[in-house]
Amino acid sequence: MRRLGAALATAVVVGAGVVGCGAGAAQEPAATSDAPAAAVEPGVLNAGDVNAWLDEMLPAALEANDIAGATVAVVNDGGTVTTRGYGHVDTGDKGAKPVPVDPKQHLFRIGSVSKLATATAAMQLVQDGRVDLDADIAGYLDFAIPRKFDEPITLRHLLTHTAGFEERIAGLIGKEGTRAVLRDALVTDPPEQIYRPGTVPAYSNYGNSLAGYIVERVSGIPFEEYVDRNVFDRLGMTSSSFAQPLPADLAGRVSNGYDNASSPAGYFEIIGTPPAGSMSASAPDMARFMLAHLGEPVGDTPILDKPTLDLMHQPALDATTLGTLAGAPRMTLGFFDESRNGRRIIGHGGDTLYFHTHLQIYPEEGAGLFLSLNSTGTSSLANHQLRQKLTKAFADRYFPAVPGTAANNGPATEPAALTTDASGTAERAAMAAGTYESSRAIESNFLTLIGLSGRTTVSVRDDGRLLLEPRPMADTAAVYEEIEPWVWREVGGQETIAMRAVDGQVETIVFDSAFALVPVETARSTYLAIPVIIGSVVILLLTVLAWPVGAIGRRLRRRAPRDRAGRTARILSRVAVGCALLAVGGWVGSLVLIMGLEDLSTVSMRSVQVAQLIGLLGVIPAAVWLVDDVRRRVGWSRTAGSALVLLALAGTGWFAVEFMLLSPNISY
Query: What pLDDT score does 160 carry?
Result: 98
Q: Is residue 14 pLDDT above 80, yes or no? A: no
Flag the least confident range among 35-49, 72-86, 157-171.
Answer: 35-49
Q: Could you report how far apart the first and last alpha carbons of the chain are, in Å?
A: 16
How confident is the prediction for the chain on average, in pLDDT?
Answer: 87
Query: What pLDDT score does 413 carry?
Result: 34
Distance CA 345, CA 335 (A): 9
pLDDT tens-digit map of 30-65: 444 565 544 567 889 999 999 999 999 999 999 999
Question: What's the whole-number mean pLDDT along residues 333-360?
Answer: 97
Q: Is residue 354 pLDDT above 50, yes or no? A: yes
Return the SS3 of 210.
helix
Phi, psi of 516 (to 5 degrees): -140, 170
More confident residue, 115 or 531: 115
Distance CA 106, CA 403 (A): 41
Q: Is residue 223 pLDDT above 60, yes or no? A: yes
More confident residue, 404 or 317: 317
Which has the closest alpha carbon to 443: 4, 137, 146, 115?
Answer: 146
Render 446-498 in DSSP notation, one character per residue: GGGGGGGSS-EEEEE-TTS-EEEESPTTSSS-EEEEEEETTEEEETTS--EEE
User: Parallel, antiparallel, or unpaired: how do β-strands 11-12 and 5-8 relate?
Assistant: parallel
Q: Is residue 6 pLDDT above 50, yes or no? A: no
49 secondary structure, DSSP code: H
Instruction: Assess contact for 371 and 391: CB atoms under 8 A.
Output: yes
The structural domains of the chain, with segments of one domain joined by +, span 51-321+328-398, 422-520, 524-658
Render 274-312 in DSSP notation, one character per residue: GGGT--EE-HHHHHHHHHHHTT---SSS-SS-HHHHHHH
Q: Is residue 22 pLDDT above 70, yes or no? A: no
Distance CA 222, CA 181 (A): 10
Query: What pLDDT score does 325 carry?
Result: 96
Beta-carbon contacts of 542 under 8 Å, excluding residues fewer than 6 positions away, are none
Buried-state track 605-626, b at ≥16 Cβ within 10 A, e below 16: beebbebbbbbbbbbebbbbbb
Buried-state track 110-128, b at ≥16 Cβ within 10 A, e below 16: bbbbbbbbbbbbbbbbbbe
444 pLDDT band, cuts 50/70/90, is confident
Phi, psi of 471 (to 5 degrees): -65, 150
Render 331-342 in DSSP notation, one character per residue: --SS-EE--BTT
Flag the least confident range among 413-417, 425-429, 458-462.
Answer: 413-417
Q: Is residue 28 pLDDT above 90, yes or no? A: no
Q: Is residue 260 pLDDT above 60, yes or no? A: yes
Helices (H) and strands (E) in the chain, counts: 18, 22
433 pLDDT band, cuts 50/70/90, is very high
Query: What pLDDT score does 10 carry?
Result: 37
Instruction: Assess contact for 612 and 583: CB atoms under 8 A.
Output: yes
Strands (E), 493-605: 496-502, 505-512, 515-519
Question: What's the whole-number mean pLDDT along residues 579-588?
Answer: 92
Query: What pLDDT score does 170 carry?
Result: 81
Instruction: Assess contact for 332 and 315: CB atoms under 8 A.
Output: yes
Return the SS3 of 353.
coil
Third-level CATH fold of 51-321+328-398: Beta-lactamase (3.40.710)
Instruction: Assess contact for 192 and 145: CB atoms under 8 A.
Output: no
Q: Is residue 290 pLDDT above 80, yes or no? A: yes
441 pLDDT band, cuts 50/70/90, is confident
Question: What's the whole-number mean pLDDT along residues 151-167?
Answer: 96
Which has the closest alpha carbon to 494: 507, 508, 505, 480?
Answer: 480
Write out the H or E segment, with its range, that includes residue 178. none
Specify whether the backbone of 220 is left (phi greater than 0), alpha (psi in -120 to 50) or beta.
left
422 pLDDT band, cuts 50/70/90, is low
Total-model pTM: 0.87
Distance CA 206, CA 188 (A): 11
Query: What pLDDT score does 411 carry?
Result: 39
Which has the closest alpha carbon to 9: 172, 161, 187, 165?
Answer: 172
Highest mean pLDDT among 1-10, 359-368, 455-464: 359-368
